[in-house]
């Protein structure tokens, strides 16, 4: 199983959580250019290091998306090249219990 947590903007701890539910709602599109709306809602990562990664579940109040975030240089700032959109779940807001491996 994955270690999970919920976190608001600027509160995603990459060193201790493999899957994080972002409690700050994404304002706008989950899939806009460079995933800018998601990156704004995510903010700065905490306890990051070069190559640290986590999965982030986010929503815009209507739909959800799952992202992989890899802090390649360890600075905590998430550039567009450090985020990969893994899936969009239209018309539903998912919670951590909706995601499992297997």
> Within a domain: residue 51?
yes
Query: Which tens digit of pLDDT belongs to each residue from 37-84?
Result: 999 999 999 999 999 999 999 999 999 999 999 999 999 999 999 999
pTM of the model: 0.95
> Within a domain: residue 96?
no
> Within a domain: residue 102?
no
Q: Which structural domain, as residue segments, surrounds residue 76? A: 4-90
For residue 96, give both structure tokens.
Answer: 């951590």
If one counts every other C-beta atom within 10 angstroms of the C-beta of residue 49, the result is 13
The two counts, helices (H) then strands (E), for the chain are 1, 5
Strands 64-71 and 52-59: antiparallel
> Within a domain: residue 75?
yes
């Amino acid at each position: 199983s994955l270690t999970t947590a919920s976190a608001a903007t600027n509160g995603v701890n990459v060193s201790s959580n493999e899957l994080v539910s972002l409690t700050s709602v994404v304002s706008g599109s989950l899939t806009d250019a460079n995933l800018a709306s998601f990156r704004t809602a995510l903010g700065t990562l905490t306890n990051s290091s070069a190559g640290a990664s986590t999965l982030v579940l986010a929503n815009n109040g209507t739909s959800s998306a799952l992202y992989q975030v890899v802090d390649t240089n360890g600075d905590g700032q998430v550039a567009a090249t450090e985020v990969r959109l893994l899936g969009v779940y239209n018309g539903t807001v998912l919670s951590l219990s909706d995601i499992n491996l297997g």
